Homo-oligomer: A and B are copies of this chain.
Amino acid sequence: MKISEFQSLIRDLYFNKDKTRGIKPTFVWLIEEIGEFSRVIMEEEINIENASEELSDIIAWTNSLANLLEIDLESAISKKYPNMCPKCNLKPCNCSE
Q: Cβ of B53 and Cβ of A76 under 8 Å apart? A: yes
Q: Do most interface residues of chain A lie in helix, strand or loop, or is the interface mixed?
A: helix
Number of residues of chain A lying within 8 A (CB) of chain B? 53
The complex is assembled from copies of this chain, and their number is 2
CB-CB < 8 A to A13: which residues of B?
81, 84-85, 91-93
CB-CB < 8 A to A3: which residues of B?
1-3, 6
Q: Cβ of A57 and Cβ of B38 under 8 Å apart? A: no
Looking at A2, A83, A84, the one whose CB has the most chain B CB atoms below 10 A away is A2
CB-CB < 8 A to A70: which residues of B?
48
Given contacts A14-B85, A17-B95, 11 further A-B contacts (CB under 8 A): A1-B3, A1-B74, A2-B2, A13-B92, A15-B92, A17-B92, A23-B46, A27-B37, A53-B76, A56-B80, A59-B73
The 6 nearest A-B residue pairs measured at CB: A52-B76, A56-B80, A56-B77, A56-B76, A52-B71, A13-B93
